[in-house]
Structure 1
């Protein structure tokens, strides 16, 4: 199944008029939830859309973003990364996700193990859990639930741009600090904090 073409949320098509579809008593069909592979396909195709990428205003001081229509009810974002910016360590709770670099290069640091989702404030991580990926323009990756990572634009001169998608839409984001092997829960953000 192919995901729909990305469009900015502000450019959504108007809903069909009530006369466009005959009235029925049948329950509306629910589309199946998108898979991580479908999210990856969506973000990769979106990252290759030069017109979409050019629509994002870039700010030299801070990250910029534009909400997109993701496949199957997913939450999707086009994000601009000035040189030297990053997310800090975080996870996306129960959502699966994918992201692809459209311009520049992004680095992802991640943990190769799922961590407990509650009942802790700090954890000492075992050795050999750290993973590092460098994603140049056109490259992407998908991830599962409770994936802990940070994404960075380590360039000192070039903006990076990326496309991200999550399903279900993000219920929360947990933010962490990290000192050596110690991961500490610092904050839990709700959707109203970033939308």
Structure 2
């Protein structure tokens, strides 16, 4: 995936301690409303693009472009909590209302009733806690979406999963050097 230089996002607060989930949500919403920044993101018709941003309080933040029909696949953010907001277009989030075991497993069978879905249009955002398992998709067949994401602490790793019905399988563990 192409990436670009690191701009400074408007509204970053001084580093006076770890940000809260509410502060991350406020940051991603304010940043998503910055038309000049959103418009500066290079968009690729084939794959997602991203630019790293200066997040509040030492958080990790990203501006991400989503071509039509693309998504993240199922994943979590390890011990980081975070927030994201849609700046342009629409995104759909599918999430699991369950905390997964930290390690020692490759396949889990999920109980009924754990699935949650939400649509996030331009200006919509959400915060999430540690151990949040989800996938984010741009369901549009013809329109790019752009979003802003922030995580604290900065992502130590991302676990990627495949899902077939109720079965969730750990497929890969990515470390920061894999995406930076």
Shorter-chain TM range is over 0.9
Residue 117 of structure 1 deviates from its aligned partner by 1.3
Q: Tell me the TM-score normalised to structure 1 length.
A: 0.86
Within the alignment, does 1:75 sit opposite 2:60 as a pair? yes
Which residue of the other structure, out of 9, 18, 21, is the alignment partner of 2:6? Answer: 9
- The aligned residue for residue 94 of structure 1 is 79
- The aligned residue for residue 151 of structure 1 is 136
- The aligned residue for residue 92 of structure 2 is 107
Higher radius of gyration, 1 or 2: 1
Q: Distance in 2 between matches of 1:107 and 1:120?
A: 28
Q: Distance in 1 between matches of 2:27 and 2:8?
A: 18
Report the 3-state secondary structure (helix = DSSP H, G, I; strand = E; otherwise coil) of the residue aligned with 2:82.
strand
- The aligned residue for residue 192 of structure 1 is 177
Q: Which ranges of structure 1 fall in alignment gaps of 5 or more residues?
A: 1-7, 13-29
Please report the RMSD computed on the Cα atoms of aligned residues, expressed in angstroms.
1.5
Q: Tell me the TM-score normalised to structure 2 length.
A: 0.93
Structure 1 segments of 4 or more deviating over 2 A? 8-12
| Alignment map for 1:122-161 (pairs within 5 Å) | 122-161=107-146
Q: Distance in 2 between matches of 1:114 and 1:133?
A: 19
Residue 101 of structure 1 deviates from its aligned partner by 0.1
What is the count of residue pairs matched by the alignment?
Answer: 172
- The aligned residue for residue 12 of structure 2 is none
Q: Which ranges of structure 2 fall in alignment gaps of 5 or more residues?
A: 10-14
Q: CA contact under 8 A between 2:70 and 2:137: conserved in structure 1?
A: yes
Residue 60 of structure 1 deviates from its aligned partner by 0.5
Report the 3-state secondary structure (helix = DSSP H, G, I; strand = E; otherwise coil) of the residue aligned with 2:29.
helix
Q: Distance in 1 between matches of 2:143 and 2:61?
A: 23
Residue 133 of structure 1 deviates from its aligned partner by 0.5
Q: As a proportion of its length, which structure holds more strand?
A: 2
Report the 3-state secondary structure (helix = DSSP H, G, I; strand = E; otherwise coil) of the residue aligned with 2:23.
helix
Q: Distance in 2 between matches of 1:150 and 1:141?
A: 14
